[in-house]
Amino acid sequence: MHAGILGRSLPFSVFIQTEVKRRTIRICSFFEFNRIPRGLCSCRRSVLMMEPEVPARENPADSKPVVSEVESTRATTGKRKIAEDSEANVSGKKRRGAGGKTLRPGERYVPPPQKRNPGVSFSQEHFSETSYYFDGGLRKVHPYYFDFKTYCKGRWIGKSLLEVFESEFRAETVEYYQQAAKEGRIRLNEAPVEDLSVVLKNNDHMRNTVHRHEPPVVGTPLEILVDDGQVLVVDKPASIPVHPCGRFRHNTVIFILGKEYGVSELHTVHRLDRLTSGVLLFARTVETSKKLDKMVRDREIEKEYVCRVEGEFPEGELVCEEPILVVSFKVGLCRVDPKGKECRTVFQRLSFNGKTSVVRCSPLTGRTHQIRVHLQFLGFPILNDPIYGSSAWGPNRGKGGVVGKSDEEILQALVEEHRSQENPDLLNDLTGGKEVAEKNFTDKCRQQVDPCGDETDVITDSTSVKDSINLPPTTANGSEKTADVPKISQDHLCSECKIVRPDPTEKELIMYLHALRYKGPDFEYFTRLPEWAKEDWVEPW
């Protein structure tokens, strides 16, 4: 069996050097933590790469502490030299920092940016940061310590660290960051920062050690369909992102392949949305990547999806050619608009069970969310599409392109809807990670420490962590647990450790859209039809 999808270029860091007054200025653009990691791929579906990061540690006190919740996925090659200002002497001689730069009294020295090596892929060092365990049909990741790293953004220059935390990193309180600084978790140019009033300068390098929690995903195994040395084709389960993004890192296809199958240095050919399942195609070599990339651009690859939509879809072939416009590049939200890019999708109904229809979809172009947007326009949104099937688009949910709201109002309405539904992961998708998880989602997400356990035991569901570790592989209530799950690490500063989050349901993790087949001039990759796409399927809720 075989597989492959929409080829689309992914963002990458841009480095520009300009000679100004005999001095070279390097301007770096960095992605925020919740965005796609920079090292992942270049504009030509390049290798999924990332420079080595500082390995995860069981205790931040043992780490080289680190600021910002911005993930710099390109690491340094070699150690930064931390310059110490020479003491000014009584005779008034000039004070100099490292590199011979003359510093004014009280001026802080900032080392120049390091050279980076983008040619290092995810390695065993990254995969060993933590481990998986399975519980209640879900794949979960043990919390772990992680360093977020970034150089100072242009808009931060002249602001204090405290101001930056208050304005851009509101997932935690100011009190949290102040305490983290006292414990050496925040570093500026590798030196511990104890006072967050320090003013940021160009080229400042910041690191922030955090206790990281990842959302669970479905526990369905990731099946390799083809691996012939040229291509790697997998059947991706729903709910698993292709690569690290937002709060997901180990619960991603790239990390699962690396951790469980020893596969790395892959080249992306296309991506699938987190909630979408099916054929996912990677190239093993640069040559194969270029070949497939050209096929995608020349539209030589036939793509076939299957979905289940609301209502009775018309019989026969239906073609939608409405142009699609990106409403928000940050979150990838789109809609039909005359100013959008040309699109073409061919639909054909496969079955109808009296309430919903199974539809075959053949996108002849590769626009973001093309199938989902065209089905919304036609008035037959995917049955459980949390975005394009939402009432936030108005009474008719965007049918015929009629919305009656501005782009900003649509986005805000979607955010409010998923906040009220206590859905932090979709909130994360819709806000670009700015509002990663609300800390008080009513009683379902209340802070609660086990009064009968020791100080490291935190209630995570109906049993405490301590109790769950001692349970056998199959518990009395039928949930599956691995037999050798290590004790979940707790962190006294981590607010997420004290939050009770109910496990996501199947309805929240699976969208009824599946990449069924990818076919090229000399290959054809396909998967089995999912259960929900079968004619006799009955909706479980």
Q: How sure is the predictor about 459, in pLDDT bands with cuts at 50, 70 and 90?
A: very low
**In this structure, is the dihedral angle defined by the CA atoms of residues 454, 458, 463 and 466, taken in order, positive or negative?**
negative
In this model, does residue 486 exceed pLDDT 70?
Answer: no
pLDDT of residue 302: 95
Q: How sure is the predictor about 422, in pLDDT bands with cuts at 50, 70 and 90?
A: low
Share of the chain above pLDDT 90, in %: 50
Q: In the beta sheet, which residues pair with residue 519?
A: 302, 524
The pair phi, psi for residue 323, each rounded to 5°, is -70, 145
Q: What is the mean pLDDT of residues 285-309?
A: 94
- Please tell me the distance from the alpha carbon of residue 34 to that of residue 53, in angstroms, as a whole number: 17
Q: Which two tokens stand for residue 37?
A: 């990691």
**More confident: 147 or 439:** 147
Highest mean pLDDT among 1-10, 398-407, 424-433, 445-454: 398-407
pLDDT, tens digit (0-9, with 9 covering 90-100), for 521-537: 999 999 999 999 998 88
Whether 210 and 148 have beta carbons less than 8 Å apart is answered as: yes
Q: Which two tokens stand for residue 468?
A: 């769950």
In this model, does residue 60 exceed pLDDT 60?
Answer: no
Q: What pTM, to 2 d.p., does this model score? A: 0.71
Does the residue 194 lie in any domain?
yes
pLDDT of residue 197: 94
Nearest to 374 by CA among 416, 364, 9, 275: 364
pLDDT of residue 428: 61
Alpha helices in 285-390 (DSSP H): 286-297, 370-378
pLDDT of residue 394: 86
pLDDT of residue 432: 53
Which residues make Cβ contacts (< 8 Å) with residue 417, sequence separation at least 6? 390, 391, 392
Alpha helices in 28-85 (DSSP H): none
- Please tell me the distance from the alpha carbon of residue 374 to that of residue 318, in angstroms, as a whole number: 11
In this model, does residue 319 exceed pLDDT 90?
Answer: yes
pLDDT of residue 28: 35
Does the residue 171 lie in any domain?
yes
pLDDT of residue 341: 95
Q: How sure is the predictor about 466, in pLDDT bands with cuts at 50, 70 and 90?
A: very low
Does the residue 154 lie in any domain?
yes
Q: What is the mean pLDDT of residues 103-123?
A: 75
* SS3 (DSSP) at 197: coil
**More confident: 213 or 329:** 213
Determine which of 25-34, 91-100, 261-270 has the lowest per-residue pLDDT on average. 25-34
Q: What is the mean pLDDT of residues 74-79?
A: 35
In this model, does residue 36 exceed pLDDT 50?
Answer: no
**In this structure, is the dihedral angle defined by the CA atoms of residues 271, 258, 47 and 528, taken in order, positive or negative?**
negative
Q: How sure is the predictor about 415, in pLDDT bands with cuts at 50, 70 and 90?
A: confident
pLDDT of residue 108: 86
- Please tell me the distance from the alpha carbon of residue 347 to that of residue 377, in angstroms, as a whole number: 13
pLDDT of residue 332: 79
- Please tell me the distance from the alpha carbon of residue 246 to that of residue 511, in angstroms, as a whole number: 19
Which residues make Cβ contacts (< 8 Å) with residue 416, sequence separation at least 6? 392
- Please tell me the distance from the alpha carbon of residue 282 to that of residue 242, in angstroms, as a whole number: 11
Q: Which two tokens stand for residue 522?
A: 């000399």
Q: Which residues are catalytic?
A: 273
pLDDT, tens digit (0-9, with 9 covering 90-100), for 125-181: 899 999 999 999 999 999 999 999 999 999 999 999 999 999 988 778 899 999 999
Angstrom distances, CA of residue 272 to CA of 269, 369, 407, 428, 495:
10, 10, 24, 17, 32
* SS3 (DSSP) at 167: helix
Which residues make Cβ contacts (< 8 Å) with residue 19, sequence separation at least 6? none
pLDDT of residue 426: 59
Whether 293 and 499 have beta carbons less than 8 Å apart is answered as: no
Give the end-to-end CA distance of the chain in Å, rounded to a whole number.
32
pLDDT of residue 81: 36
**More confident: 439 or 529:** 529
pLDDT of residue 101: 65
- Please tell me the distance from the alpha carbon of residue 55 to that of residue 209, in angstroms, as a whole number: 11
Instruction: Provide the mean pLDDT of the chain.
Output: 75
Tokens 């040619």 belong to: 119
**More confident: 32 or 326:** 326
The pair phi, psi for residue 163, each rounded to 5°, is -60, -40
Does the residue 389 lie in any domain?
no
Does the residue 532 lie in any domain?
no
- Please tell me the distance from the alpha carbon of residue 78 to that of residue 436, in angstroms, as a whole number: 33
In this model, does residue 307 exceed pLDDT 50?
Answer: yes
In this model, does residue 362 exceed pLDDT 60?
Answer: yes
pLDDT of residue 116: 62
Determine which of 21-30, 192-201, 305-314 has the lowest per-residue pLDDT on average. 21-30
In this model, does residue 290 exceed pLDDT 90?
Answer: yes
- Please tell me the distance from the alpha carbon of residue 385 to that of residue 153, in angstroms, as a whole number: 36
**More confident: 218 or 464:** 218
- Please tell me the distance from the alpha carbon of residue 326 to that of residue 335, in angstroms, as a whole number: 7
| CA angle in degrees (0–180, nearest 5) for 453-459-461 | 140
Q: Which two tokens stand for residue 170?
A: 């509101």
In this model, does residue 70 exceed pLDDT 50?
Answer: no
- Please tell me the distance from the alpha carbon of residue 397 to that of residue 394, in angstroms, as a whole number: 5
Amino acid at the residue 381: P
CATH number for the domain spanning 193: value is 3.10.290.10
Structural domain containing residue 172: 144-212
Nearest to 514 by CA among 224, 218, 226, 238: 238
**More confident: 539 or 210:** 210
Q: Which two tokens stand for residue 269?
A: 């050919």
Determine which of 85-99, 144-158, 200-214, 412-426 has the lowest per-residue pLDDT on average. 85-99
CA atoms within 13 A on the CB side of 66: 26
- Give how many domains the chain has, as a whole number: 1
Q: How sure is the predictor about 92, in pLDDT bands with cuts at 50, 70 and 90?
A: very low
Strands (E), 284-328: 302-310, 317-320, 324-328
Which residues make Cβ contacts (< 8 Å) with residue 22, sequence separation at least 6? none
Q: How far is CA 281 from the centre of its chain?
A: 19
Q: What is the mean pLDDT of residues 89-106?
A: 56
Question: If residue 254 lies in a helix (H) or strand (E), which one and from where to where?
Answer: helix 253-261
Number of other CB atoms surrounding residue 219 within 10 Å? 17
Q: What is the mean pLDDT of residues 460-480?
A: 29
Does the residue 453 lie in any domain?
no
pLDDT of residue 519: 95
pLDDT of residue 136: 92
Q: Which two tokens stand for residue 361?
A: 């979809």
**More confident: 489 or 477:** 489
pLDDT of residue 425: 61
